[in-house]
């Protein structure tokens, strides 16, 4: 089966959303990356929930994000912490946002996707989790700071 460019972008976007969910689940339930990866790939991708079929996620993107997020968690958390104001250390941030910053930080570190695209994609993910709230703007500010720190001289 051939996947069009538009379908591939949708699958990568879905993989980002799934990566945030998987990283959240790993932290909340204290589960291993292997267990969560298998659960998502076997059951969550394309799942039908309330008569709505979830899109298939791009497996390579999903795996790269969760594995890099776990491998580089300390570095990503330090980047995130520096982007947050002093009154809001990473431990006080909503766990969904913490997972989002880890997934986005992983993608920024991988450096295959332009930083502006990574930021926009994860701001959209924040909007999916927190509709009608300030989290997408907050996400944009934190990820912009992280990207500028990772890529000195701008992007």
Q: Does domain 5-150 have CATH number 1.10.940.10?
A: yes
pLDDT in tens, 34-80: 999 998 888 878 766 666 656 788 899 999 999 999 999 999 999 99
Kindly report the average pLDDT of the chain as a whole number: 89
**When comparing pLDDT for 118 and 40, which is higher?**
118
**Mean pLDDT computed over 20-31:** 94
Task: Give pLDDT, residue 25.
Answer: 94
pLDDT in tens, 106-117: 999 999 999 999
Residue among 69, 71, 10, 11 at smallest CA distance from 41 = 11
Q: Where are the domains of the chain?
A: 5-150
Task: Give pLDDT, residue 55.
Answer: 77
- Whole-model pTM: value is 0.89
Question: If you average pLDDT over each of 52-56, 87-91, 132-136, which comes out highest?
Answer: 132-136
Task: Give pLDDT, residue 50.
Answer: 67
Non-local (6+) Cβ contacts of 76 within 8 A are 69, 101, 102, 105, 106, 109
In this structure, of 29-33, 89-93, 113-117, the range with the lowest mean pLDDT score is 89-93
Residue among 20, 102, 31, 101 at smallest CA distance from 57 = 20
Task: Give pLDDT, residue 87.
Answer: 60
């Amino acid at each position: 089966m051939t996947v069009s460019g538009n379908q591939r972008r949708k699958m990568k976007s879905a993989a980002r959303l799934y990566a945030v969910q998987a990283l959240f689940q790993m932290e909340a339930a204290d589960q291993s990356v292997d267990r969560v990866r298998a659960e998502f790939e076997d059951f969550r991708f394309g799942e039908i929930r309330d008569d709505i079929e979830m899109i298939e996620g791009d497996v390579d993107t999903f795996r790269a994000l969760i594995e890099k997020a776990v491998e580089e968690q300390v570095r990503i958390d330090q980047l995130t912490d520096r982007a947050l104001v002093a009154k809001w250390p990473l431990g006080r941030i909503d766990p969904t946002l913490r997972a989002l910053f880890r997934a986005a930080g992983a993608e920024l570190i991988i450096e295959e996707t332009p930083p502006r695209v990574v930021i926009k994609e994860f701001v959209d993910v924040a909007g999916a989790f927190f509709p009608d709230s300030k989290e997408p703007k907050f996400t944009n500010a934190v990820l912009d700071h992280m990207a500028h720190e990772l890529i000195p001289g701008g992007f």
